[in-house]
Each structure stands twice: as structure tokens, then as C-alpha cells.
């Protein structure tokens, strides 16, 4: 058969099976990956490729299931100062083509490592994080052939509290539950398939993604979907058009450049390449939040033209998307872009600092911070001349110029501690600052008489507890409390709890 006829036959077959599946099948096609099979496969791969494949979880679901994630990298069991990329599938439970694409991608990386130089470079240069199924609860419902399984998109939140899944009433749309443009989005009826949920980040699945992104600061985040509306088939959406009056995001040129390269490398069922277009910033979606709050390039890919395929088509579609993703990964390896490390001039320790490329800046996006472990930043750019300003409370800001042609330009900063900027670091009547840069880092707590014993905890600005500074601290006297030695410089919150009384203050740790 000529190829074009073959292709036509494949399309017709696909459409035919699609119709028959929704009409009569009792569960998804067996060629799709089930959560339990993914876990088994991960165990096999980890045994076979322990140096480059490492199992983790990104978090737990609403029903307390682990959400599996893997890191593919050299020394995969350890975090290294390499650019990170995050790919996840099945945020919507009935859109499993991204899961197949991720499993194909992982397999190609493992099999090709040390055989194909391009694959080896991807593994060695980057930390690649893959979450094949984000909405594991919805997935388990769909893949057990539960009620309305082919259309179940949301989580399994029991909106009516009757203890069983009701379609379409139960569940929250994980792509409408982000704290972005929340009030303006009025999908408040639980029976909507795009129900935003009772409050922002009510669903632990996306809290897990949010926290991972804030901590790891990936260069690119990819969210794989499949379209319910057929007009958006085979599309990559890049971030974004700010309808609040800001126009295109400050990274529009590079966002589109990356999307165009990636779309051009990804083939659809007709043998044509994918298309790309900007997304609007109007919805409480992951893409809008990630780019808006962190400046990280966040993409949505709508795989194929509908959610469910059968037989060999399942694998063919996933494999095409997996191959196309190589272009995106290689763009992150090759640049162009600006990267570097921010350290304290006093201690050489990394700093969580804001890094502004002044030619690619808007107050509606960011702040763009370095990751906490190594103080690294990576910013894809187009070729051109740029000025970069780095700032962190407690240090003097610095600006440097750089010209980017091909590849990555390295631009490191060693910031000088600014003693006068430290000021009264802790703003609370019980807490008195006495910490100074360089030597002993401590704060002083003056406990008024008559209170119960106090506990003092330290939190980062995202609300993660990074240490307990003291507990059982007696009232009516002062306490000298050491700050943890192995945390990065930056702004932290100190919380003192004494019985039902509580005070919170800020502390700037300068290293
Ligand atoms: Zn979707």
C-alpha cells in the first residue's frame, strides 16, 4: 500500500476505534500504561540503570496515593548543579497520551545512553524529571473502568460528600485550581468539568508541582494534554499574552522560538508537524501561574486530536511526541541563554537572589529567583546584548553586561554583604536581632513573663519549615537561638508559638 493510503487507513481506523471505544468499551485500551504497570517498569529500569534512573515521588494525591516521579541524569540519585526540566502527563485523567509519550521518552534515554552521543549528552548535561501521571486518583478511576471513565477529567474530590464518584459533579479541574486570576474565573459549579475548586491549591497534586517548581526552578516545564475541543489538536501553547494590559510576556520572542523549534520536530498523525501559538494569561491554569509567578517557560502540548486511541496507534502517537521532545531538550542544552551562580562574597555560599535580564523584564512576571541548592540560574534568550541585575536583601545589587551569540554565556555574581541593609532583621516585640554576617548567626528571643513555654521555628518564604530553633523555652527571660548553618542566604520567617499566642517576624540571613 502507498504510504499516504496507509496513513489514511490508520486515521480512519483510529477514528473508528475511538467511536467504538466510547460507545462500548468497559475500560481503556490495554496499550495504555496503568499506574501499577508503570511502577513495575520503574523497578525494572532502576535495577537495570541505577546510575541514570532514580525513582522519587513528587507528592501525594487527594486519596493519599504516591505520585511517582523519576530523575534521569548522570548520578541520578543525587542533586547536581545542572539545568532541570520537568515533564508531566495526565493532569487530566482522561488524557493519557502524555503518559505514553513520557514512558517512550524515558525508554529512549535509558536505551540510548552510552550508545547514541546525543542521548548521552541529554542525560549527562541535565536533570530530567518525569511524572507520567499527575492525577493518579482520576487515573485509577478511569483505568478501572469506573463511571463515565472516558470523560473523567478531574480529581476524585467528593464534592457532594456521598462517598462515591458522581459524574460530572465530583472532582476539581487541576488546570483551574492555581492561584492565578482566581477571583475573575467564575467556574464555581462543581458539576462543571472545569470546576476551579473550593479555594486555590485545594488539590495536593498541584501543590506538589508548585513546590517542586519553586524549589528546583526548572528551565522549562511541560504539561502534556490531549484536546477535548478538536480545534486545538497538535498544538503547543507558549507563555503568554497578558490580557491585563501587559501585552506579550517579556520572554515572548524566546518562548515562541523554542515552541517553533519543538513543534517543527513533532509529527502528528497526518505526517505534518505541530503548530504553536501563545496562550492567554486569563485562567487559573498551571501554565499561567508558572510563568507569571516564576518566569519559568511553561508549555502545554495538546497531543493528537482526541483523548483515546487504540492498539498500535497508542504507541505510535506517544513515540512521535517523545521524539519531538528531543528538540526542546537539546535547545536547553545548546542555548542560547545566560546562566550563572550567585554567591556571597563573604562566605562563597550560594544565595537565593533575584536575577533580572533588564531587556526581558516585566513587573507582571516573576520574581525570577535562583534555585536554593547551588544559587544557579538558567535563562534561555535569543542572540543579543543584555544587562543582568542581581539583587538580594542584605547585599549590594550588581549589574553586568553580556553579549549572547550561540550557546550559553556564563555570568556569575559574588554579592557583597551590606551590613546597613540588615537593619532590625526581626520585626516582632518578643524577638530581638543580634545576628551579624560572617560569624555566629543567632537571634535573641525575649519572652515576656506569664506565658507558657515557647517553640520557635524558621520558615522559608514559601512556608516550608527549614528548622526548629528551640522548644520548651521558658517565659520571663531571654534566649539566644542559633540559626541553622547549612541554609542559603535570604529572607526567612521566624514563628514563636507560646500556648495560644503567636508572633511572626522576618529575619535576613546573610552568608
Ligand atoms: Zn487537558
pLDDT of residue 20: 37
Phi, psi for residue 287 in degrees, rounded to 5: -60, -45
Instruction: Report CA(128)–ligand 1 centroid distance (Å).
Output: 22
Identify the pLDDT of residue 429. Answer: 54
> For residue 92, how far is its CA from the centre of ligand 1 (angstroms)?
5
Distance from residue 175's CA to the centre of ligand 1 (Å): 8
Q: How far is the CA of 104 from the centre of ligand 1 (A)?
A: 20
Cβ proximity of 462 and 214 under 8 Å: yes
Measure 132 CA to ligand 1 centroid, in angstroms: 14
Strands 431-433 and 376-380 turn out to be unpaired
Q: How far is the CA of 226 from the centre of ligand 1 (A)?
A: 6
pLDDT tens track of the chain, all 511 residues?
333 333 333 333 333 334 334 445 788 999 999 999 999 999 999 999 999 999 999 999 999 999 999 999 999 999 999 999 999 999 999 999 999 999 999 999 999 999 999 999 999 999 999 999 999 999 999 999 999 999 999 999 999 999 999 999 999 999 999 999 999 999 999 999 999 999 999 999 999 999 999 999 999 999 999 997 667 889 999 999 998 777 999 999 999 999 999 999 999 989 999 999 999 999 999 999 999 999 999 999 999 999 999 999 999 999 999 999 999 999 999 999 999 999 988 888 888 999 999 999 999 999 999 998 899 999 999 999 999 999 998 889 999 999 999 999 999 999 998 754 444 344 445 555 544 444 446 777 878 788 888 899 888 876 778 889 898 999 888 888 888 877 777 778 888 888 877 777 777 777 6
Q: Note the pLDDT of residue 2.
A: 36
Q: Does CATH place domain 422-509 in 2.60.40.3080?
A: yes
C-alpha cell recorded at residue 136: 493518579
Residue 24: the pLDDT is 54
- Which architecture does CATH list for 337-415? Sandwich (2.60)
Query: What CATH code is assigned to 25-334?
Result: 3.40.630.10
**473 Cα to the center of ligand 1, angstroms:** 51
Q: Name the helix (H) or strand (E) containing 258.
A: helix 252-264
Q: Cα(225) to centroid of ligand 1, in Å?
A: 4
The structural domains of the chain, with segments of one domain joined by +, span 25-334, 337-415, 422-509
- CATH topology identical between 25-334 and 422-509: no
Inter-axis angle of helices 3-24 and 312-334, nearest 10: 110
Ligand 1 center to 41 CA (angstroms)? 25
| Rounded distance from Cα 91 to ligand 1 centre (Å) | 7
Ligand 1 mean position to 100 CA, how many Å? 15
With residue 106 as reference, give the H or E element that holds it: helix 97-112
Distance 288 CA to ligand 1 centre (A): 14
- DSSP 8-state secondary structure symbol assigned to residue 95: -
Q: What is the DSSP secondary structure assignment for residue 79, as one 8-state letter?
A: -
Q: What is the pLDDT of residue 435?
A: 47
pTM of the model: 0.84
Contact 169, 95 (CB under 8 A): no
Query: Does residue 350 contact residue 343 with C-beta atoms inside 8 Å?
Result: yes
Residue-level pLDDT at 272: 95
Amino acid at each position: 500500500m502507498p504510504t499516504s493510503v496507509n496513513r489514511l487507513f490508520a486515521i480512519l481506523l483510529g477514528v473508528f476505534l475511538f467511536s467504538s471505544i466510547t460507545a462500548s468499551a468497559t475500560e481503556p485500551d490495554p496499550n495504555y500504561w496503568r499506574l501499577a504497570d508503570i511502577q513495575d517498569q520503574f523497578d525494572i529500569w532502576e535495577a537495570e540503570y541505577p546510575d541514570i534512573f532514580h525513582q522519587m515521588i513528587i507528592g501525594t494525591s487527594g486519596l493519599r496515593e504516591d505520585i511517582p516521579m523519576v530523575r534521569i541524569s548522570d548520578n541520578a540519585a543525587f542533586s547536581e548543579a545542572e539545568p532541570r526540566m520537568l515533564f508531566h502527563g495526565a493532569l487530566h485523567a482522561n488524557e493519557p497520551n502524555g503518559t505514553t509519550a513520557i514512558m517512550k521518552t524515558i525508554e529512549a534515554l535509558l536505551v540510548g545512553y552510552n550508545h547514541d552521543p546525543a542521548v548521552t549528552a541529554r542525560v549527562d548535561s541535565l536533570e530530567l524529571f518525569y511524572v507520567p501521571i499527575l492525577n493518579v486518583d482520576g487515573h485509577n478511576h478511569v483505568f478501572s473502568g469506573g463511571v463515565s471513565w472516558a470523560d473523567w477529567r478531574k480529581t476524585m474530590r467528593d464534592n457532594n460528600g456521598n462517598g462515591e464518584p458522581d459524574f460530572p459533579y465530583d472532582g476539581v479541574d487541576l488546570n483551574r485550581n492555581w492561584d492565578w486570576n482566581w477571583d475573575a474565573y467564575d467556574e464555581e459549579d462543581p458539576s462543571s468539568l472545569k470546576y476551579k475548586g473550593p479555594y486555590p491549591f485545594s488539590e495536593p497534586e498541584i501543590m506538589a508541582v508548585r513546590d517542586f517548581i519553586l524549589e528546583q526552578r526548572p528551565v522549562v516545564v511541560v504539561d502534556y494534554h490531549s484536546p477535548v475541543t478538536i480545534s486545538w489538536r497538535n498544538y503547543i501553547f507558549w507563555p503568554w499574552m497578558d490580557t491585563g494590559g501587559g501585552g506579550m510576556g517579556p520572554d515572548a520572542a524566546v518562548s515562541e522560538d523554542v515552541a517553533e523549534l519543538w513543534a517543527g520536530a513533532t509529527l502528528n498523525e497526518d505526517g505534518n508537524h505541530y503548530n504553536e501559538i501563545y496562550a492567554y494569561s486569563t485562567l487559573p491554569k498551571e501554565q499561567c501561574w508558572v510563568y507569571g509567578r516564576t518566569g519559568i517557560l511553561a508549555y502545554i502540548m495538546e497531543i493528537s486530536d482526541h483523548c483515546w486511541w487504540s492498539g498500535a496507534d497508542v504507541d505510535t502517537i506517544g513515540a512521535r511526541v517523545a521524539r519531538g521532545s528531543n528538540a526542546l531538550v537539546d535547545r536547553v542544552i545548546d542555548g542560547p541563554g545566560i546562566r550563572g551562580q550567585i554567591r556571597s562574597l563573604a562566605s562563597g555560599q550560594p544565595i537565593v537572589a533575584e536575577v533580572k535580564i533588564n531587556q526581558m523584564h516585566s513587573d507582571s512576571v516573576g520574581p525570577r529567583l535562583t534555585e536554593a541548592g547551588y544559587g544557579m540560574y538558567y535563562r534561555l534568550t535569543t542572540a543579543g546584548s543584555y544587562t543582568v541585575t542581581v539583587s538580594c536583601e542584605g547585599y549590594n545589587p550588581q549589574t553586568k553586561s553580556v553579549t549572547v551569540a550561540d550557546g550559553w554565556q556564563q555570568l556569575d555574581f559574588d554579592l557583597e554583604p551590606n551590613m546597613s541593609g540588615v537593619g532590625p532583621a526581626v520585626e516582632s516585640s518578643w524577638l530581638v536581632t543580634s545576628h551579624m554576617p560572617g560569624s555566629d548567626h543567632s537571634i535573641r528571643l525575649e519572652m515576656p513573663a506569664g506565658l507558657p513555654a515557647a517553640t520557635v521555628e524558621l520558615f522559608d518564604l514559601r512556608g516550608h519549615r527549614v528548622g526548629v530553633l528551640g522548644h520548651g523555652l521558658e517565659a520571663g527571660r531571654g534566649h539566644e537561638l542559633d540559626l541553622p548553618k547549612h541554609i542559603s542566604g535570604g529572607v526567612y520567617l521566624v514563628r514563636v508559638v507560646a500556648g495560644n499566642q503567636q508572633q511572626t517576624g522576618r529575619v535576613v540571613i546573610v552568608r
